């Protein structure tokens, strides 16, 4: 869970007060890993936190607790591991051997160039396929950027092509007489959008800003040159959204500033999500993973055509966040895509995250449940062809509406035994006023993603762990320079959204800024009637703190002990028996963020580094992004939330449209964004982290020799 070594030392040595090291807002980290790496030399990044090489001897009880906590939270504790650990007397503990952390802190703003992004003129690119694409030029940070928006890369997946892998275009688009107009952002694929009533600017960033359509397989290109022989490095963006939402048309993903700042060609694509992108029926008509096929087709198109836009097809870097990060890691594993890129950046997620894939059986069950909900199984048939033919007649809006219902029905069926146990304790939860436990009983038993990638297909033939483990002999994983990272408070957004409608009055008006729906009002009325002492009018921060209770009846003693130790749940061991509001929310944030994002990212980094081996010329780096802007229009306790770094990666502090539509940035935000863009683009060019040749960085970059 990215714990610093000094923190583990405090946990290990009795008599020391336990206090989590919370860095100042402007801090973070970068790491370099290799297969045999070990921390042998310490350093002092900004803020003075020392991460050193010393290993500490821990007694067997505390070793077991630390190991359990990490394994349980990250979902990989087994009985064999317990037996193996019980046989050990002592062991040497280090924090993430192979991991070197470097601070990423904002510094004073230096001279910044123009933010103007006014359209200047039109420009046409002719492709070898006969296509003629007309984009436009803009002035961005005192440079000219050539933009081409909404270029089709595959046939529209409509009618008989719904649920099927995308099909390449066989005919050119546009011609020398009438070029294709690439001046407007493309349709978004159907996805579960942010509520359009949203009024908080920080959340309005994620509202869809183009029409939703099944005719959505388009890509965008931003180039800092019109010279087809320029051979610029290419960066291909894959957006996140849990495989059920997202769009490359969002203003936060505009690639013009990144292209201008880093002198690279930036590209992005739309791909199908949700039921239209990931429904699996074990059939050629609906094989699943078609959203990943869409990404593959777009990457293939970019590889074949990017030279005409001034790019170098041999220097392509894929980068993505959340589900986009999982997608990038899938392309490292898939035999389809491996030959089309050289490097990868994986932010806040990976292929081994629990939410990033499911079994073929679960995928099949969800498809049948959806068919039931839209009346495409009147005779309970399991004939995939019949079901698909019926589902192709259903409107995409209705399919979207029933997506979550299909998931919930499968979860309830798959968790009947847990549900029975849960219901036995429901009365006691109600009587005790434990509102979080009660809220959990009224909602899904755990968070999940409706439709997602499945393994066992030709696109993803193996589970990631298996493929990485066996790659040394099979050589079936892409060997690339890899940069991975997380943000400080990965879990906050998910914690606040997973608490159920029982917190509707406290959360929605305070945080999201719009009135309650009819259903939410009903939930609130029920809560007031049944819990007269529950004050829903207070700040949800304090609401969570007041009613969160670690309850041993939910978990067996081993799991409870491990989690309590790792997350320092109040006990006599730590010399205190209660939590402050901040400590409560921090613990929930850590638990959720570690389980869903930090552990899968770190674990994938370690597995990939081990797969590369000690003699590899490739490098694996890690970072932690921890800056929060003073102008962020969300309560301070929300911290540095999931996806918050993306406005820095894409240069939003220099994007006037973004600032006018959403929120502004400080001068130190602008400086950090400038440096982050240089870090990312220089990694894409060289596989190393720097802000430019001969330039000094204030982030204390250091590197272990391989």
DSSP string, 407-423: HHHHHHHHTHHHHHHHH
With bands split at pLDDT 50, 70 and 90, how would you rate the model's confidence at 197?
Answer: low
109: which 2 tokens? Answer: 């703003």
Q: Which of 308, 278, 321, 339 is nearest to 124 (CA)?
A: 308
214 neighbors 166 (Cβ within 8 angstroms): no
HEC per residue, 100-119: CCCCCCCCCCCCCCCCCCCE
Choice between 665 and 580, residue whose per-residue pLDDT is larger: 665
Distance between CA 286 and CA 280 in Å, rounded? Answer: 6
DSSP class of residue 174 equals S
Res. 692: pLDDT tops 70: no
Give me the mean pLDDT over the 606-620 stretch. 91
Query: Strand 143-152 relative to strand 132-140: parallel, antiparallel, unpaired?
Result: antiparallel
160 neighbors 185 (Cβ within 8 angstroms): no
Distance between CA 316 and CA 330 in Å, rounded? Answer: 16
Q: Which of 246, 288, 241 is nearest to 449 (CA)?
A: 241
**Residue 180: burial class (beta carbons within 10 Å; 0-12, 13-18, 19+):** buried
Q: How many CB atoms lie within 10 A of CB 38?
A: 12
Distance between CA 68 and CA 71 in Å, rounded? Answer: 5
When computed from its CA atoms, the radius of gyration of the chain, rounded to whole angstroms, is: 25
Give a yes or no: residue 543 inside a domain: no
H helices of 445-551, in order, are 464-474, 492-497, 504-507, 518-530, 540-547
Distance between CA 649 and CA 671 in Å, rounded? Answer: 12
Q: Pick the range with the lowest mean pLDDT from 261-265, 419-423, 631-635.
A: 419-423
HEC per residue, 481-500: EEEEEEECECCHHHHHHCCC
Give a yes or no: residue 449 inside a domain: no
Instruction: Work out the mean pLDDT of the chain and round it to a whole number.
Output: 75
* Consecutive H or E run containing 30: strand 28-33
Per-residue burial over 671-702, b if 16 or more Cβ lie within 10 Å, else e, is: bbbbbbbbbbbbbbbebebbbeeeeebbbbbb
Distance between CA 51 and CA 65 in Å, rounded? Answer: 22
Give a yes or no: residue 329 inside a domain: yes
With bands split at pLDDT 50, 70 and 90, how would you rate the model's confidence at 561?
Answer: low
Angle between helices 416-424 and 396-414 (to 10 degrees): 70
Domain that residue 324 falls in: 122-350+460-488+621-686
Question: Rounded to an integer, what is the distance from CA 323 to the centroid of its chain?
Answer: 5
Distance between CA 678 and CA 122 in Å, rounded? Answer: 28
Give me the mean pLDDT over the 429-445 stretch. 43
Give a yes or no: residue 168 inside a domain: yes
Give a yes or no: residue 483 inside a domain: yes
165 neighbors 287 (Cβ within 8 angstroms): yes
Question: Rounded to an integer, what is the distance from CA 457 to the centroid of its chain?
Answer: 23
Distance between CA 195 and CA 642 in Å, rounded? Answer: 18
Res. 50: pLDDT tops 80: no
H helices of 531-622, in order, are 540-547, 557-566, 581-593, 599-612
Res. 359: pLDDT tops 50: yes
Distance between CA 458 and CA 293 in Å, rounded? Answer: 11
Give a yes or no: residue 544 inside a domain: no
DSSP class of residue 597 equals I
With bands split at pLDDT 50, 70 and 90, how would you rate the model's confidence at 582?
Answer: low
**pLDDT for res 408:** 75
DSSP character string of 347-361: ES--TTSGGG-B-HH
**pLDDT for res 317:** 99
Distance between CA 441 and CA 438 in Å, rounded? Answer: 5
Give a yes or no: residue 104 inside a domain: no
With bands split at pLDDT 50, 70 and 90, how would you rate the model's confidence at 140?
Answer: very high
Angstrom CA distances, 201 to 207, 250, 254, 300, 658, stand at 10, 13, 17, 36, 10
Residue 250's SS3 state is: coil
Q: Which of 392, 154, 398, 393 is nearest to 271 (CA)?
A: 154
Res. 193: pLDDT tops 80: no
Distance between CA 73 and CA 562 in Å, rounded? Answer: 9
Give me the mean pLDDT over the 50-78 stretch. 37
Q: For the whole model, what pTM was predicted?
A: 0.77
With tokens 């921060």, the residue in question is: 541
Give me the mean pLDDT over the 443-461 stretch. 78
**pLDDT for res 228:** 93
**Residue 426: burial class (beta carbons within 10 Å; 0-12, 13-18, 19+):** middle
Res. 19: pLDDT tops 60: no
Q: Pick the range with the lowest mean pLDDT from 47-56, 372-381, 444-453.
A: 47-56
**pLDDT for res 579:** 61
**pLDDT for res 198:** 72
DSSP character string of 202-249: HHHTTS--S-B-S---EEEEEES---TT--EEEEEEE--STTT---TT
CA angle, 129 then 130 then 135, to 5°: 105
Angstrom CA distances, 540 to 57, 396, 403, stand at 41, 35, 28
Max Cα distance, the chain (Å): 80
Give a yes or no: residue 55 inside a domain: no
Distance between CA 691 and CA 291 in Å, rounded? Answer: 34
Angle between helices 5-12 and 60-73 (to 10 degrees): 130
Res. 49: pLDDT tops 50: no
Q: How far from each other are the two terminal CA atoms of the chain, in whole angstroms?
A: 24
Domain count, the chain: 1
- CATH value at residue 212: 3.40.50.1820
With bands split at pLDDT 50, 70 and 90, how would you rate the model's confidence at 586?
Answer: confident
**Looking at the annotation, which residues are catalytic?**
322, 490, 642
Q: Which of 179, 152, 186 is nearest to 168 (CA)?
A: 152
- Give the highest mean pLDDT range of 344-348, 440-444, 522-526, 700-704: 344-348
């Amino acid at each position: 869970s990215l714990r610093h070594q000094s923190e583990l030392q405090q946990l290990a040595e009795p008599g020391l007060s336990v206090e989590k090291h919370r860095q100042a807002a402007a801090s973070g980290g970068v790491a370099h890993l290799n297969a045999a790496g070990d921390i042998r030399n310490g350093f002092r990044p900004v803020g003075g936190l020392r991460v050193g090489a010393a290993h500490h001897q821990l007694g067997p009880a505390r070793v077991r607790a630390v190991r359990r906590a990490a394994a349980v939270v990250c979902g990989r504790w087994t009985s064999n591991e317990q037996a193996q650990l019980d046989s050990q007397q002592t062991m040497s503990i280090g924090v993430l051997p192979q991991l070197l952390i470097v601070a990423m802190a904002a510094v004073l703003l230096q001279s910044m160039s123009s933010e103007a992004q006014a359209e200047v003129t039109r420009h046409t690119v002719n492709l070898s396929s006969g296509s003629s694409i007309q984009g436009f030029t803009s002035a961005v940070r005192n440079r000219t950027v050539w933009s081409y928006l909404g270029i089709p890369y595959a046939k529209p997946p409509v009618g008989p092509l719904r649920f099927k892998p995308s099909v390449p275009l066989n005919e050119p688009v546009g011609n020398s007489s009438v070029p294709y107009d690439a001046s407007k952002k493309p349709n978004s694929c159907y996805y579960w959008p942010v509520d359009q009533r949203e009024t908080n600017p920080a959340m309005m960033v994620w509202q869809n800003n183009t029409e939703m359509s099944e005719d959505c397989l388009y890509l965008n290109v931003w180039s800092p040159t019109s010279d087809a022989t320029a051979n610029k490095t290419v960066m291909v963006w894959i957006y996140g959204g849990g495989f059920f939402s997202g769009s490359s048309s969002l203003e936060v993903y505009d690639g013009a500033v990144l292209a201008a700042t880093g002198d690279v060609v930036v590209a992005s694509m739309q791909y199908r999500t949700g039921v239209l992108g990931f429904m699996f029926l074990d059939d050629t008509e609906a094989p699943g993973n078609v959203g990943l096929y869409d990404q593959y087709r777009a990457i293939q198109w970019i590889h074949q055509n990017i030279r005409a836009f001034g790019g170098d097809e041999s220097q392509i870097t894929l980068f993505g966040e959340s589900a986009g990060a999982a997608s990038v890691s899938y392309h490292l594993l898939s035999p389809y895509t491996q030959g089309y890129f050289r490097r990868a950046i994986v932010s806040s997620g990976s292929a081994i995250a629990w939410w990033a894939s499911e079994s073929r059986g679960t995928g099949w069950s969800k498809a049948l449940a959806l068919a039931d909900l839209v009346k495409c199984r009147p005779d309970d048939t399991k004939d995939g062809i019949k079901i698909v033919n019926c589902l192709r007649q259903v409107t995409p809006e209705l399919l979207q509406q029933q997506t979550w219902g299909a998931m919930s029905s499968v979860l309830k069926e798959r968790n009947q035994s847990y549900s029975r146990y849960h219901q036995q304790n429901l009365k006691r939860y109600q009587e005790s006023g434990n509102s979080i436990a009660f809220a959990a009983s009224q909602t899904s038993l755990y968070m999940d993603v409706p439709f997602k990638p499945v393994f066992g297909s030709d696109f993803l033939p193996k589970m990631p762990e298996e493929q990485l483990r066996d790659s040394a002999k099979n050589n079936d994983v892409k060997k690339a320079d890899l940069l991975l990272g997380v943000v400080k408070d990965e879990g906050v957004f998910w914690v606040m959204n997973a608490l159920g409608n029982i917190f509707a009055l406290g959360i929605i008006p305070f945080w999201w800024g719009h009135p309650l729906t009819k259903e939410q009002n009903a939930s609130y009325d029920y809560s007031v009637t049944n819990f007269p002492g529950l004050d829903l009018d207070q700040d949800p921060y304090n609401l969570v703190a007041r009613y969160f209770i670690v309850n041993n009846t939910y978990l067996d003693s081993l799991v409870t002990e491990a989690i309590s130790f790792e997350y320092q749940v109040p006990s006599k061991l730590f010399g205190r028996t209660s939590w402050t509001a901040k400590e409560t929310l921090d613990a929930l944030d850590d638990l959720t963020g570690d389980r869903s994002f930090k552990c899968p990212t770190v674990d994938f980094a370690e597995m990939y580094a081990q797969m590369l081996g000690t003699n590899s010329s490739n490098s694996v780096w890690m970072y932690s992004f921890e800056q929060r802007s003073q102008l962020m229009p969300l309560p301070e306790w929300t911290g540095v939330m999931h996806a918050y770094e993306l406005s820095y990666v894409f240069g939003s502090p220099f994007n006037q449209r973004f600032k006018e539509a959403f929120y502004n940035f400080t001068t130190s935000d602008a400086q950090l964004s400038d440096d982050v863009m240089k870090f990312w683009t220089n990694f894409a060019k060289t596989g190393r982290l720097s802000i430019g040749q001969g330039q000094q960085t204030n982030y204390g970059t250091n590197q272990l020799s391989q």
